[in-house]
Structure 1
Amino acid sequence: DTVIELREQTPLRLGIEQAALSTNQHYEITWDLDGTVWEDATQPELVLSPSQIQKGRHRISVHLRDTTELVKNDPQGLLTSHQSWEVVKSFCSGRLSGTVTDGRTNAKLRQIPITLLPGGAIITSDDSGKFSCQDIGCGLYTIQIHAVGYAPFSRQISVVDAQTTTLPLVLQPASDAFYITGTVVGLVPQCTITASGTHTAQTTTDETGRFTLGPLPSGEYRLVPAAPEYGFFPSQRILTLKDHDITQIRFAAIRQSPATKKK
């Protein structure tokens, strides 16, 4: 078997030798990865993105079976060609996809530049608002969007090996977008603040305990802080966003003792 070392952000092309194909015959072509058939791979050539497979060593095989009238009823068929490659992926990479929509009209937004940080890679939505990106190194990233007529958008995402992270990105028109800001006191590390109601959003506090949620459309929201080993006062806040931002929200984090947790 041929051993191939995958390279980052470089598609791999594998194919059946043309000498094995005849214009006078019909063929059934099957590709498999480590023994599992690729249902949508039926062509003589396979183009493989590194982000489609997990980090490690794999075997990719192609099977060419003659399905002409003379042999198609043979239980074994006529296997005219079989080839395997050993493929090694020494790095971790995944994929990103989603759709950008207007938060007021639900219209799909075209030609919206989406910045991926760190790195500064820019992905642009197509005419149907969709976007995708292959072979992104695994880890945590921040997506940022600055589009004319819309409030700035920022969201943290996680890219996982051989998986697609799907993101519905909703941009709020600048006139309809509001923010909720506040502070968690008590030296709790990275408290999670979740907003539910008219819209759902989540963020974490920074090193000083401050947090920002938004942009959010007008409506009713329930804010809940959470962190392992901590309770909070108040345990939640019910807010109404209308006409302006809401600032100076305050939660106090209280370290829970084992006796407190049993209660």
Structure 2
Amino acid sequence: MKRLAAIFSIVLILQAFATNSCLAQDIILKIIDNGDDNARFVCVLLAEGYTAEESKKFTDDYTRIVNHIFSTSPWKEYKSFINFYTLYRPSKQSGADHPSQNVYVDTAFDATFDSYGVSRLLTVNDSKAFDAAAQIPSFDAVFVLVNDSVYGGSAGSTIVFSCTEAAGDIALHEAGHFIGHLADEYETAYFADPDITRVPNITRQTAIEAIPWKKWIDPEIPLPTPETITDRIGLFEGAGYSAVGIYRPKHTCKMRTLSAPYCEICAEAIIRSLYTVVRPVDTWGPLEPEITVIDQPLMLWIEPIPVNDGTFDVTWEVDGEIIDNNGRLNYRVNPAALSQGTHIIRIWFKDTTPMVRGEADGLLTFQHAWQLHRTECSGDIAGTILQDDSSTGVANAKVEAVPSSAIAYTDENGWFQFNNLPCGTYTLIVNAPHFDKSEKEVAVTEDGGGMVNIFLHTKRPPYNITGTIWGRVPDGVTLHVYGTVSSTMHIRGSKNFNVSSLASGNYIIMPEAAGYIFFPAYQRVTIKDASPQRIRFFAIKKLF
């Protein structure tokens, strides 16, 4: 769902222009902001069954629930992986439907108990929920908080839970289903013969090698495991809506009992799911994949997402050989230690949390490589930045030598210089206040670089054409502008006009109004160094 179309990316959205009258009342808040939505797991919490008068109650309710979620492992450890939004859309009535009691209310997302004949199975109209959530960029999970005191919840396409005292734990349980792909571990026979082939926390297998969580089971644990062992991972009978034949990993877990914490298997599944969306390293540098070095040291680095009480392992490798870098997140490259030619420097960053055992698929590992070209061929580039109309030097102009990261600024005479640039072709990009950007290509060879002069054109401000239309035209005048910039404007209630933001060049200005002729019919205007003087037209009503 992360790549569903996003409409807005601001924190508070008041959609007064929305075509849907419901959307016009939506209030969206980003209550947890850990960075770019495209680099985080994005949750959206919708208000359901809260009237316009209950906005404060919604705020109080979601604050209590969200605080509970992020005080619970593994959410508290990996909170920095998550961005969280709330969306408040007032409902006409409070609560949810209770068909078995013949109670029906008018709410934003059609919440109802008694779904599929199960009294506590609380669902919503997923289509409406997704339409609302699509206002949030890159959402991954939709939570729906239902303003009803009766216990209920579900986790199909959305995570739905009612606002009871246990709402936080219901949310965690249902999020376990949706985000961790976890099965129910209780025995109540709501559904028969569940499909358990792709869930990480229940199984019919009893042979150790076939148990999905075998890496968590210590050798001395008997299989199946007696209920007297309450604090170890094993194979406990009773799960997946059946008291016999289906097994769970631990004596108790939030997927079996709301008040319990997640067991190790379920916590691991949630962490791994977060990692399918979130990369553990936010950024690295330099960003260029290929870098040429001569004799100046170069610092390579990464910036991982912080994990609460997290542990990690960092490995650096130069040309396939691991180097001792004391686990640092940066590495200083000494060009003198490299032979001439191409070298690959690679980093592996691995989350070594004890909450995940084994990582054969490398899901919790990030790797990045830089290609370094070591050369002794270098040269200098120097020159002057000049005004094109006077050949006067331009001071404090910024000169970039692309594709390198070298930057120079001109002195008071317009002089700049780059020293020891590796051999190659560079584009000098020049920016200076009050001048247009300019570019020039320069080559550095074994014979050195070169001297260059780069001329800048003075920026010209946008120009205006102003004027007056004499004569009363009740329905207004349409003014056509043809030229370097063409436009049409309608003048009504005023005889004066102002055509703005024009570039220099030649223009034709032509007024038009039904039932009128104008004198002159049009005017030619040339803009060069300044806005022209006011022009005028006379409107004359046609006699026939």
- Shared fold (TM-score greater than 0.5)? no
Give the structure-2-normalised TM-score: 0.22
Greater RCO (Cα-Cα under 8 Å, separation 6 or more): 1
Q: Which has the higher strand share?
A: 1
Give the structure-1-normalised TM-score: 0.39
